[in-house]
Amino acid sequence: MAAIYKVSYVVSGEEHPGAILNTESRPEKGDQITLGSKKFTVIEVIDLIPPKGEFHYLHATIQTQN
Amino acid sequence: MEHRNILEAVELFDGASPEELESVAALCKEQTFTKGDIVTAQGESGDELFVVCDGFVEVLRTGSTPEQAPRSVVHLGAGQIFGEMALVDHGPRSATVKAASDTTKVLILRQDEFERLCDQNHHLGFVVMRNIAADLSFKLRHHHLTGR
């Protein structure tokens, strides 16, 4: 099975609880993502904990698009 | 998409055999919610576990006093589970969960049926309980990172 990326998205600079979701590709700096009705830009991605099997555990910091 | 294919990409079932996934998939019911629909309500009894297939849900917690407005805790998207605390401790729902997308699709597993399956198959029971612990740990890490 292909890699699955379980990502903790944390919103920088505002009162937003962020999101957790699985993605099929590793998010990268500069990617655009939509959570609910709001659009965000990924500004940093780090490995949160070591991968296990197909699952990779990431933390992405995002901010509202200008 | 077939329920089994959805479950394959859910961490809760990571380590389960194809046969075990089939047996879990056979218990799943699919339900679609629209934005704003309440899926579970804080304080109510709960006997179901949910898997987000499509869209997002928003998890909200009400404070200890009625005048405190509900606070958004996290949004959960594809592949995430909720309702798992009731599966572990049989307590009331710890949060309200609302559909946050125009179309939010979830798989629903009844607690009694799922526990019976895990009782019959201890490997599956071990896999599920280990992965529930890992999922709760990941959610806690997310909560810490948000600094809320």
Which tens digits make up the pLDDT trace of B28-62? 999 999 999 999 999 999 899 999 999 999 999 98
- CA–CA gap between residue B19 and residue A20 (Å, rounded): 28
Count Cβ–Cβ pairs < 8 Å, chain A vs chain B.
82
| CA-based nearest distance A38→chain B, Å | 11
Across the strands, what pairs with A10? A61
Chain A residue closest to B52 (CA)?
Answer: A21
Q: What is the CB neighbour count within 10 angstroms for residue B61?
A: 14
pLDDT given at position B148 = 57
| CA-based nearest distance A33→chain B, Å | 12
8 Å CB contact of B56 and A21: yes
- CA–CA gap between residue B97 and residue B60 (Å, rounded): 6
pLDDT band, residue A66 (cuts 50/70/90):
low
Distance in Å from the first CA to the final CA of chain B: 36
Task: Kindly list the residues from chain A whose CB atom is less than 8 angstroms away from the CB atom of residue B80.
Answer: 20-22
8 Å CB contact of A19 and B139: no
B146 closest CB neighbour out of A17, A23, A48: A17
| CA-based nearest distance B130→chain A, Å | 13
Which residues does chain B have with pLDDT short of 70?
Answer: 66, 148
Contact B7, B28 (CB under 8 A): yes
pLDDT at A1 over 80: no
8 Å CB contact of B74 and A53: no
Tokens of B14: 């990571």
Task: Kindly list the residues from chain B whose CB atom is less than 8 angstroms away from the CB atom of residue A48.
Answer: 138, 141
Q: DSSP secondary structure string, chain B?
A: --HHHHHHT-GGGTT--HHHHHHHHTT-EEEEE-TT-EEE-TTS---EEEEEEES-EEEEE--SSTTSPPEEEEEE-TT-EESHHHHHH----SSEEEE-SSSEEEEEEEHHHHHHHHHH-HHHHHHHHHHHHHHHHHHHHHHHHHT-
3-state secondary structure of A53: coil
Model pLDDT for residues A7-41, shown as the tens digit of each residue: 999 999 888 899 999 999 999 999 999 887 789 99
Task: Kindly list the residues from chain B whose CB atom is less than 8 angstroms away from the CB atom of residue A40.
Answer: none
8 Å CB contact of A19 and B74: yes
A19 closest CB neighbour out of B77, B141, B148: B77
- CA–CA gap between residue A62 and residue A15 (Å, rounded): 12
CATH superfamily of B28-113: Jelly Rolls (2.60.120.10)
Extents of the domains making up chain B: 28-113
pLDDT given at position B86 = 81
- CA–CA gap between residue A66 and residue A17 (Å, rounded): 19
Distance in Å from the first CA to the final CA of chain A: 37
In our burial notation (b when 16+ CB lie closer than 10 A, e otherwise), range A26-55 reads ebeeebebebeeeebebeebeebeeeeeeb
ipTM of the modeled complex: 0.91
